[in-house]
Amino acid sequence: MHRRIITTGRPTMLLAAVGATVLALSACTSAPADTGGNAAGGGGEGGGDEKFVIGFQQPLGGQAWREMGLASLQALAERPEYKDKVEVKIVRTNDNDAAQQNAAIQNLIAQGVDAILFDPASATGADAAIAQAEAAGIPVIANGGPYSNDYVYTVSTDWANAGTIGADWLLAQLGDDKDVAVLEGLAGVPLNDSSMPAVEDVLTGGGADIVAQGANGWNEADAQQAMSQILQSEPNVAGVYSFLTGGQGIPAAFADAGIPFVPVVGGSGYNGEACTLVEYAPEGLKGNMIFGQPAIYAKGLEQAVKLLEGDDIEKEQFYAPLEITADNAKDFCLPDMPDNFQLGYDFPGLDLTLDEVLAFYQN
């Protein structure tokens, strides 16, 4: 039986039910830190009764990828080597709103945190808060996507490379027919807007003809709906490129329409994507599900602690994405977990286990 995407509700975009500007503060399970009244600028010292207080601003609370990232971060903070020296304050805001994110970061500064991690809601929308952090000597790390500010460190997936890897792969799958459909992710988000022009350049430069375009909203249900609409007018596309989502929804759209599978790029790292490749590979589905590990947030925490302890870290750190194809999908597919369970809970060198992360995973 073919898999179907549940189209009622938005499982990857469920928002935390809290206030409009700053939704929630939640710390790791360790006791509140004693910041000594001077937390700003790395004033805390690891050890003793004091802890580094590290804030994380999440602008799209409730999305599976980001919630898994936060769970990985909290799991790392609970490790013995971190538990006695780190307190994490997580602040969620709504709808990838840059103004809300800016206000939330300012609130963290007012609380006297030692460092700030944030997943950028826009390329420049937090500049006012970052200027305040710089004046206070509080280091800031863009953790999850790029941000245009010389003061800010970056610990992120190499999203631009993630995009072109998929485009190159798709071109290699195409024969004489090079008509393709392209779905962007979420317009206005830096990692989408900075990646899609290069993706389209690679496709068209390699001879592909983009005959249909849409958006997946970084949601499998939206990807399925968008693809279904495209197939009504363009049923003979030879390939599909969908940025960071669609590895389950797009094949489901083809299956529902009774149209033979074509090569698909579209990974957000959902369990259902890996399992879809396993299920449909015998029927000819070829896919490359490319995504960044959510556990990049845990890597950001590791780097923030190193910085606060006085170590030098690289100002810009970009890490290669994961790729799930028919060749390795069985290694990722978790048959006992739901389709929308987010993979990528570990990061190279951190060795986080599924059980550790599940203790904090909220989706």
Cα Rg, the chain, nearest whole Å: 21
Both 127 and 251 in a single domain? no
Which structure tokens are listed for 158?
């190499």
Both 28 and 153 in a single domain? yes
Residue 6 lies in a domain: no
Beta strand spans in the chain (E): 24-27, 52-58, 86-92, 115-118, 140-143, 153-157, 179-184, 209-215, 239-242, 264-265, 287-291, 316-319, 322-325
Per-residue pLDDT tens digits of the chain, which is 363 residues long = 333 333 323 233 323 333 333 333 333 333 333 333 333 344 444 444 689 999 999 998 888 889 999 999 999 999 999 999 999 999 999 888 999 999 999 999 999 999 999 999 998 999 999 999 999 999 999 998 889 999 999 999 998 788 899 999 999 999 999 999 999 999 988 778 888 999 999 999 999 999 999 999 988 999 999 999 999 999 999 999 999 899 999 999 999 999 999 999 998 889 999 999 999 999 999 999 998 999 999 999 999 999 999 999 999 999 999 999 989 999 999 999 999 899 999 999 999 999 999 999 986
Residue 75 lies in a domain: yes
Both 36 and 118 in a single domain? yes
Both 108 and 178 in a single domain? no
Both 154 and 182 in a single domain? no
Q: In what helix (H) or strand (E) does residue 191 lie, and over which residues does it extend?
A: helix 190-205
- pLDDT of res. 311: 97
DSSP for 204-273, please give it.
HHTT-EEEEEEE-TT-HHHHHHHHHHHHHH-TT-SEEEESS--TTHHHHHHHHHTPPP--EE----BHHH
Both 276 and 303 in a single domain? no
Q: Confirm if 110 and 48 have CB atoms less than 8 A apart.
A: no
For residues 326-354, b (16+ Cβ closer than 10 Å) or e, as one string? eeebeebbeeebebbbbbbbbbeebebee
Question: Which candidate, 333, 359, 356, 336, places its Cα nearest to that of 346?
Answer: 356
| pTM of the predicted protein model | 0.77
Rounded to an integer, what distance in angstroms lies between the CA atom of residue 59 and that of residue 57?
A: 6
For 184-212, how does the pLDDT look when each residue is reduced to its tens digit (9 = 90+)?
Answer: 999 988 778 888 999 999 999 999 999 99
For residue 107, give its domain range.
24-158+294-320+344-358
Rounded to an integer, what distance in angstroms lies between the CA atom of residue 113 and that of residue 215?
A: 37
CATH number (domain holding residue 30): 3.40.50.2300
Residue 221 lies in a domain: yes
- pLDDT of res. 49: 61
Both 226 and 311 in a single domain? no
Rounded to an integer, what distance in angstroms lies between the CA atom of residue 307 and that of residue 305?
A: 5
Residue 280 lies in a domain: yes
For 115-173, how does the pLDDT look when each residue is reduced to its tens digit (9 = 90+)?
Answer: 999 999 998 999 999 999 999 999 999 998 889 999 999 999 998 788 899 999 999 99
Residue 282 lies in a domain: yes
Both 272 and 175 in a single domain? yes
